[in-house]
Structures are given as C-alpha cells and as structure tokens.
Amino acid sequence: MIAGLQSYLLVSAILFFIGVAGVLTRKNIFIIFMSIELMLNAVNLTFISFSRFMNNLTGQAIVFLIIAVAAAEAAIGLSIVILIFKNKDSLSVDDFDVMKG
C-alpha cells in the first residue's frame, strides 16, 4: 500500500503539536529548544509532501530556506543559552522571574 498525502499531513500535524506541547509544558531550556526544532521540521515535512503530491517545486525550495533559518536561529539560541548559564548557573525557565507585573 502506498501512503497517500493525508497520512503525511497527519504525521506532520502530530509532530507539530508534539512540539507545541513540549514548548508549553517543559521547563528545561534545551528541551524547549528541541521542541521548537521539532515544530520547524514538522513544517518541512508538510512542505515536502505537498510539493511531492502537487508536482510543484516551490515547496522544496522553501524547505532549504527554512533549514537555513533554523540554523541561524540555533546559532543565536545556543549562544543565548550559554550567556544565561554563565550569569545564572541554571537552565530552568522557572529561575527567570526577575521581572513581574
């Protein structure tokens, strides 16, 4: 049996919402960061499957750009994590509550 477009879309939607759930529930900065990457990769899967089933190459071009953007974001994100760890010695989001109101 050949998997149709719907199954691909379903898998990517599930992956995306696993990512969303991870961002919303986890406390460790690294896990949150990984969840965001999972969301972006779920989007890539959506683009690729649309592109494949519609015979339209735009989707695949977009995926390359998304990968590049994700890499740039990872570079910034990891340097932010290092900066924060140096100043605060903690990676839990609960410890960042200086500003309130």
Partner 1 sequence: MNNIFPFLPIGITLVFAIAVMLLEVLLNGKKQILAYVSLLGVVFSAITTVSLWARQTNPFHLSFFSEMFIVDNYSLFFYLIFLLCAGVCILTSSGYLIRENMEHGEYYSLVLFAVTGMMLMASGGDLLILFLGLEIMTISIYVLVGFNRYNIKSNEAVLKYFFLGAFSAGFILYGIALIYGACQSTTLSQIGKVVRAEDFAYAPMAVMGILLLMVGILFKVAAVPFHSWLPDVYEGAPTPVTGFMISAVKVASFAFFLRLFLISFIDLKDSWKDIISVIAVITMFTGNIFAFTQTNIKRMLAYSSISHTGYLLIGIASLSASPENHVADAILYYLLAYSVGSIGTFACISYLSQKDEEYVNIDDYAGVGFKYPLIGIAMSIFMFSLIGVPPTGGFFGKYYLFSAAINQGMYPLVLIAIVNSMMSVYYYLRVIAVMYFKHSDYKVTNTSGKMSTNLVLVYTLVGTIWIGMGTFTIFSIVPGATSVLEWTKVSIESLF
Binding residues for partner 1 (CB under 8 A): 9, 16, 19-20, 23, 29, 32-33, 36, 39-40, 42-43, 46-47, 50, 54, 56, 58-59, 61-62, 65-66, 69, 72-73, 76-77, 80, 83-84, 87-88, 93, 96, 98-99, 101
Give the residue ranges of DSSP H helices in 1-101: 5-25, 29-54, 58-88
The set of residues, in sequence order, having a beta carbon less than 8 Å from that of 46 and lying 6+ positions away, is 8, 9, 12, 13, 16
- Provide, rounded to whole angstroms, the least separation between the CB of residue 11 and partner 1: 13
- Provide, rounded to whole angstroms, the least separation between the CB of residue 35 and partner 1: 9
